[in-house]
Amino acid sequence: MVQVDYLHGKSIFLPLAVGSLIACAKADPALDAVYDFKEPIFIREDPALVLSRIEDPYLVGFSNYIWNYEYNKLLARRIKEKYPDCIILFGGHQITADGAILNEVPYLDIAAFSEGEESFPLLLRALHERTPLRSVPNIAFRENGGITATEKRFPPSLDLPSPYLTGVYDSIFEHYPDLSFNAVIETVRGCPYACAYCDYGVVNCKVRAFSEERALAELRWVSEHGISHVSVADANFGMFARDERFVDEMVRLHNENGVLKNFQTSYAKNSNDRVFSITKKLNDCGMNKGTTLSFQSMDPTVLENIHRKNISVSLFTDLLKKYNEAGIATYSELILGLPGETVQTLVDGIDVLLDAGQHNAIYIHNCEWLPLADMGSVEYMKKHGLRTVRVPLNHPHRTVEENEIPEYSHIIIAANSMPPEDWVRMNIYSMAVQTFHHEGLLLFFALYLHDKQGMKYSDFYRGLIDFAFSHPQTVVGKIFDTLKKRFNAVTRAEEGLVCLDDRFGPVGWPPEEYAFLLAAYELDRFYDELRDFLSSYVEDAAVFEELFRYQREVMKLPRLKTRAFACEYDFKTYFTDLICGEPAELRRSPCRYRIVQAEEFDSWADYARVVVWYGRKDKHNFYLEELEES
């Protein structure tokens, strides 16, 4: 069974999909007696090396998603060439219920769609007993010169054996002692929503639950096996009361032995008191990786097109204040390129979020076409004029290996409301806000101008973009030119969105983080060249000089010693209040700040990994809380 993933340094996820299928098949004594399951293949190694370890297989099953689809096809083809009688089975999120992949991949024998815990054991039984495959649900195969697709159905219950608790992964820990493993746990399956861009909620089935006892036992297993990072794959974690009991157990395990350190999930779309309680408990013990308060779009037409409803802006504002007061980092997400979105609606929507107080983090993702999403259908694409390009996989932060098998993303770069040139403009603007506001480079200027001079955030960042393109030799000018060329190349399918630069390590960076790194690498020049631009906005010359010093001094760089600086204004209190949504007063009060607990970095690659990647959601790229008055 094959479910390969990328290594992130020495870290990798255990293969949950194929592990679950193995556990279900082995739970049937009759199947366990006649089938021998080899250790799952889960690392993207050279296919020739993998093939050398496979001996005369009867069946090889592949779990497919966008990050391993091309690899799987190559490995499957080579297996079929060497072992022509081997049955090749493909399942996963790349497989549509019509079995169309069988026309694309001639060496594929059976395509499996939907959930597999019931159908996989039934398939193995039918193959062994040589009974007709038509009785097996959720599969497609060639028959009489055509393709036969069987009934689509879901397991009658989720009372299923766990791959963690039944020993499926035991040999992996023995054979890979140098790897650090991450785990994914399901507590429920299904989603009550049907967002058009998502391939999870469109299965048209109710939310079903695994037993509470199973989930708790899996959490204990994770901790006992030294796994520090656990993800819960629920689409709306915090929807049910028992979710808080799961968190209580994680906190207990964390406090008991310190192994379990990081937790990640997708929280309930309509954030509630339970989500707040959950994230506060996680935050208090250092396990919280940020709480999502997502929108995807702020435009009513777009929301109607994608079948989504958002929480109100007033509730969002109240939630931000509540989370800020508790010291819990939040982030919001938007999707760029949704049908109905325009440059102006995107700019206006970002303004709404900034006006509401979301200064911690906004992630603006490019919309990716997925075959199982509603948006993936021919009818939906035709209705909204969607156009995609096939580009290298949009998967930042993974370790990039030489001569690796390329994977691909299908990015939406045009719609009826958005020609490709507007898609480029939208990416330039979203990069500007994420880089210079949420990653801190010009955050304090934008906050001051908005609060004291009533300037719209969009006016400031559009002004920055105009300055950059009219001053192409400056650091900021080169940054915008570099990214504009990349975005244009994406629309022609000539480049991907992920940026590589040896100075910042062997990982790929999303455009906004890469732009930050380029500015940070020449930070003094970056600010010197922007002095006149920034001073043209600030009406009080005395405040400008102090603010300019403060903005550049608080940026975190790989400096190796504690430093101090003086200001004539109490900027720390002022900006802390603004960011927390509190009434803010800028007092002229001479302050001498000392930066304490400064992190040391041996290289720009270490700095990029810790500050820009790991620290983005909770403002680790500039000093605010670390400032001490001296």
pLDDT of residue 201: 55
Q: Which two tokens stand for residue 365?
A: 């993702």
Domains belonging to the chain, first-starting first, are: 2-149 (3.40.50.280)
The pLDDT score that the predictor gives to residue 204 is 54
Query: 293 with 330: CB under 8 angstroms?
Result: yes
pLDDT of residue 619: 60
Residue 426's nearest CA partner among 376, 467, 461, 478 is 461
pLDDT above 60: residue 13: yes
Q: Which H or E run contains 319?
A: helix 313-325
User: Which class for 24: exposed (0-12), middle (13-18), buried (19 or more C-beta within 10 A)?
Assistant: buried
Q: Specify the pLDDT at position 602.
A: 81
- Residue range 314-331: average pLDDT? 90
Is residue 438's pLDDT more than 70?
yes
Nearest to 167 by CA among 40, 7, 29: 40
Helix (H) or strand (E) holding 549: helix 541-553
Predicted confidence at residue 598, as pLDDT, reads 59
d(CA 252, CA 240): 20
Q: What is the dihedral sign for C-alpha 389, 393, 397, 400? A: negative
Q: What is the mean pLDDT of residues 575-602?
A: 86
**Of 211-215, 258-262, 458-462, minimum mean pLDDT range:** 258-262
Q: What tens digit of pLDDT does each residue of 49-61 get? A: 999 999 999 999 9
The confidence band for 620, taking pLDDT boundaries of 50, 70 and 90, is: confident
Least confident interval from 333-337, 423-427, 514-518, 558-562:
558-562
Number of H helices, E strands in the chain: 23, 21
Long-range contacts of 311-317, Cβ-Cβ distance < 8 Å, separation of 24 or more:
311/270, 311/271, 313/352, 313/356, 316/353, 316/356, 316/358, 317/356, 317/357, 317/581
Tokens of 524: 């003094």
Find the range with the poorest average confidence among 108-112, 195-199, 427-431, 547-551.
195-199
Q: Which of 463, 439, 467 is nearest to 450 (CA)?
A: 463
pLDDT in the model for residue 203: 54
pLDDT band, residue 102 (cuts 50/70/90)? very high
Q: Token pair 């592949």 is at which residue?
A: 62
| Residues 6+ away with beta carbon under 8 Å from 344 | none
pLDDT in tens, 158-182: 999 999 999 999 999 999 999 999 9
Give the DSSP letter string of 418-431. Answer: B-HHHHHHHHHHHH
pLDDT for 597: 60
Residue whose tokens read 């629309």:
491
pLDDT of 559:
66
For residues 134-163, average pLDDT: 94
3-state SS assignment for residue 191:
coil
Mean pLDDT, all residues of the chain = 93
Angle between helices 273-284 and 313-325 (to 10 degrees): 30
Task: Assign residue 167 a region (left: φ > 0; alpha: ψ between -120 and 50; beta: otherwise).
Answer: left
pLDDT of residue 197: 94
The 10s digit of each residue's pLDDT in 473-492 is: 999 999 999 999 999 999 99
What b/e sequence results for 131-151 when a residue is b if at least 16 CB atoms lie within 10 Å of its CB, and e otherwise?
A: eebeebbbbbbbeeeebebbe
Say whether pLDDT at 449 is over 80. yes
Where in 116-169 does DSSP place strands (E)? Answer: 139-143, 146-149
Average pLDDT over every residue of 495-503: 96
Ranking 377-381, 456-460, 622-626 by mean pLDDT, the lowest is 622-626
DSSP 406: P
Give the model confidence (pLDDT) of 585-598 as tens digits: 999 999 998 887 65
What distance separates the 2 farthest-apart alpha carbons in the chain? Answer: 86
pLDDT band at 616 (very low <50, low <70, confident <90, very high): confident
